[in-house]
């Protein structure tokens, strides 16, 4: 234990920072932790000793959703949780969650951690579980390359004895199979949403022999049932499998196959059970992977499967991840999107909605968003022409012109594009009000800094509309 006096001063200083942020109306998700770490650098190690169990969630896409899902399931059984639910996922954000909610003990600490902060975090703590969502190219001007990110996470996980919960369908994590940790795999069986070709055209090469990988089927991006024709390596046997996925009344329904044995995936054996009728009510096939990560964790911690199933079904999104904001005369759906695979899948999800609608893309280029916005050219904007009944497409944010440019080159009708270049990362009042004046459903897609700003404006407009 660090010097108790310094520890207490650090917590107090963090609380003070939080208090000042609150009374000045700012969000206090990272600064309080930053202040506390400054005073007591190894504070995270001391704080996490107060947790009976610790879960860390990392990966490129789906961290916040998975974190919220796990909180929702575990929070249904346990009262004392500590978590960084608002998505501040650097080490400061993790420390902040303790600073603003100080208790002497917690049943569970559940944290999403940015891939780049994993080495910092594992330096101080050895989580009981680490859940990996996926690895895609994201904000590369910050980390260099996705291979470096994967290696950084791999090296960090070698130093802890956590159980690792892995997306078995993600070929970029195949090297994690070598880790001596206990491992649990989740993934899909072939279903009606499976594709045969890459929609984001990026080849993946076998980590063993360098040959191009083939797929029995692809779920999205590079995620799918992969195998190497040359050396015979293939996706690992899955323990938690979603199958028979279909859409019913805008909800996803799927069956869960559980196989804790190590036999080949197709052979029926005594270890195998199937639980039918899981329901998740938000769009995007990638969300079923997030559900699987949460389900794998909770079932391996011996939560009751009926309870887990109910919690998945009654889960409500918050904080701009496919969150629906209801206005008297229309609904607005807010989605965070910050990399090519994510954005391609968001457009794909919209194509299931044939109602008249307007779309809005808010693209900022602050440091947190990534100063390089060229990734929008890797996203499959071309499928915009498959989305029916788009009345208008609003482009805003600090790089609004380039969103419009991307749409133009994707073959979208430029007469429907409305451009508003923002003066700063939250300057969306004008386009949002124009969008709200149209009596059709709206989808708002925003980058990392744009989404919370848009959410603020939407909630304040909603409050006004209800007076």
Which residue in the set 107, 216, 301, 378 belongs to the binding site for another protein (CB under 8 A)? 378
Which residue in the set 42, 155, 161, 202 belongs to the binding site for another protein (CB under 8 A)? 202
Q: Whose Cβ is closer to another protein: residue 370's or residue 452's?
A: 370
Stretch of 10-18, 76-84, 133-141, 448-456 contacting another protein, by CB under 8 A: 133-141
Q: Whose Cβ is closer to another protein: residue 39's or residue 405's?
A: 405
Q: Whose Cβ is closer to another protein: residue 276's or residue 408's?
A: 408
Torsion, Cα of 66, 68, 69, 73 (10° steps): 140
Does residue 367 belong to the site contacting another protein (CB under 8 A)? Answer: no
- Residue 249 annotated as catalytic: no
Which phi-psi region, left, alpha or beta, contains residue 465 (left: φ > 0; alpha: ψ -120 to 50)? alpha
State the minimum distance, in angstroms, from the CB of residue 249 to another protein.
Answer: 37
Is 225 annotated in a binding site? The answer is no
CA distances from 182 to 128, 157, 179, 288, 296 (A): 10, 11, 8, 23, 13
Does residue 41 belong to the site contacting another protein (CB under 8 A)? Answer: no
Does residue 386 belong to the site contacting another protein (CB under 8 A)? Answer: no
Q: Are 319 and 455 in contact (CB under 8 A)?
A: yes
Q: Whose Cβ is closer to another protein: residue 53's or residue 195's?
A: 195
User: Residues in contact with another protein, total (CB under 8 A)?
Assistant: 34
State the minimum distance, in angstroms, from the CB of residue 172 to another protein.
Answer: 11
Does residue 376 belong to the site contacting another protein (CB under 8 A)? Answer: yes
The residues near 241 (Cβ < 8 Å, ≥ 6 apart) are 186, 187, 188, 189, 256, 257, 258, 259, 265
Does residue 415 belong to the site contacting another protein (CB under 8 A)? Answer: no
> CA-to-CA distance for 371 and 251, rounded, in angstroms?
36
Q: Which three-class secondary structure state does DSSP give residue 349?
A: helix
Q: Whose Cβ is closer to another protein: residue 40's or residue 206's?
A: 206
CA distances from 405 to 362, 380, 381, 388 (A): 13, 14, 11, 20
Which residue in the set 190, 212, 276, 318 belongs to the binding site for another protein (CB under 8 A)? 212
Q: Whose Cβ is closer to another protein: residue 412's or residue 448's?
A: 412
Under rule CB under 8 A, which residues in 134-153 are in contact with another protein?
A: 137, 140-141, 144-147
> CA-to-CA distance for 124 and 48, rounded, in angstroms?
9
Tokens of 59: 């990966």
Is 395 annotated in a binding site? The answer is no
> CA-to-CA distance for 419 and 66, rounded, in angstroms?
34
Angle, CA 18 vertex, CA 12 and CA 24 arms, to 5°: 140
Catalytic residue among 316, 372, 386, 424: 372
Is 231 annotated in a binding site? The answer is yes
The residues near 184 (Cβ < 8 Å, ≥ 6 apart) are 163, 164, 165, 166, 239, 240, 296, 300
Is 40 annotated in a binding site? The answer is no
Does residue 210 belong to the site contacting another protein (CB under 8 A)? Answer: yes
Spatial CA neighbour of 294 closest among 63, 16, 80, 115 = 63
Does residue 401 belong to the site contacting another protein (CB under 8 A)? Answer: yes
State the minimum distance, in angstroms, from the CB of residue 418 to another protein.
Answer: 12
Which residue in the set 182, 374, 389, 460 belongs to the binding site for another protein (CB under 8 A)? 374
Give, rounded to a whole angstrom, the gap between the first and last alpha carbons of the chain.
53
In this structure, the number of other CB atoms found within 10 A of the CB of residue 437 comes to: 9
> CA-to-CA distance for 93 and 101, rounded, in angstroms?
13
Q: Whose Cβ is closer to another protein: residue 64's or residue 149's?
A: 149
Does residue 413 belong to the site contacting another protein (CB under 8 A)? Answer: no
DSSP 8-state code for residue 64: H
Does residue 409 belong to the site contacting another protein (CB under 8 A)? Answer: yes
Annotated binding site for Zn(2+): 206, 209, 228, 231
The set of catalytic residues is 372
> Which residues of the shown chain bind another protein in the complex (CB under 8 A)?
137, 140-141, 144-147, 198, 201-203, 205, 210, 212, 371-372, 374-378, 401-402, 404-406, 408-411, 414, 417, 419, 421
């Amino acid at each position: 234990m660090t010097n108790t006096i310094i520890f207490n001063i650090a917590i107090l200083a963090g609380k003070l920072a939080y208090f000042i942020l609150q009374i000045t109306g700012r969000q206090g998700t990272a600064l309080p932790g930053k202040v506390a770490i400054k005073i007591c650098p190894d504070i995270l190690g001391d704080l996490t000793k107060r947790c009976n169990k610790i879960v860390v969630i990392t990966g490129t896409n789906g961290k916040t959703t998975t974190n919220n899902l796990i909180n929702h399931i575990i929070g249904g059984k346990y009262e004392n949780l500590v978590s960084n639910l608002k998505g501040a996922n650097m080490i400061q954000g993790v420390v902040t969650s303790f600073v603003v909610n100080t208790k002497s003990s917690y049943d569970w600490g559940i944290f999403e951690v940015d891939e780049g902060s994993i080495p910092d975090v594992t330096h101080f703590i050895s989580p009981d579980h680490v859940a990996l969502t996926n690895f895609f190219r994201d904000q590369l001007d910050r980390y260099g390359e996705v291979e470096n990110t994967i290696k950084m996470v791999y090296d960090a996980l070698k130093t802890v004895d956590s159980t690792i919960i892995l997306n078995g369908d993600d070929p970029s994590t195949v090297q994690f199979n070598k880790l001596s940790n206990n491992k649990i795999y989740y993934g899909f069986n072939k279903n009606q949403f499976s594709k045969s070709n890459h929609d984001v055209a990026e080849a993946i090469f076998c980590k063993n022999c360098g040959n191009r990988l083939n797929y029995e089927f692809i779920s999205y991006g590079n995620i799918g049932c992969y195998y190497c024709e040359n050396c015979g390596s293939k996706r690992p046997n899955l323990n938690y499998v979603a199958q028979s996925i279909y859409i019913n009344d805008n909800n996803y329904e799927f069956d869960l196959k559980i196989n804790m044995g190590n036999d080949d995936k197709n052979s029926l054996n005594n270890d195998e059970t199937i639980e039918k009728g899981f329901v998740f009510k938000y769009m995007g096939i990638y969300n079923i992977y997030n559900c699987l990560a949460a389900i794998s964790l909770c079932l391996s911690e011996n939560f009751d499967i009926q309870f887990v199933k109910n919690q998945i079904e009654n889960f409500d999104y918050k904080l701009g991840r496919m969150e629906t904001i209801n206005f008297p005369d229309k609904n607005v759906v807010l989605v965070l999107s910050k990399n090519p695979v994510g954005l391609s899948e968001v457009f794909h999800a919209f194509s299931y909605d044939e109602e008249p609608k307007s779309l809005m893309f808010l693209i900022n280029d602050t440091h947190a968003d990534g100063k390089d916005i060229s990734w929008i050219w890797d996203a499959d904007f071309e499928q915009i022409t498959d989305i029916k009944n788009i009345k208008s497409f609003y482009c805003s944010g600090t790089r609004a012109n380039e969103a419009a440019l991307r749409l133009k080159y994707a073959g979208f009708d430029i007469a429907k594009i409305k451009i508003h270049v923002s003066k700063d990362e939250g300057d969306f009042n004008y386009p949002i009000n124009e969008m709200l004046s149209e009596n059709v459903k709206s989808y708002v897609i925003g980058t990392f800094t744009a989404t919370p700003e848009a959410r603020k404006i939407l909630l304040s407009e909603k409050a006004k509309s209800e007076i």
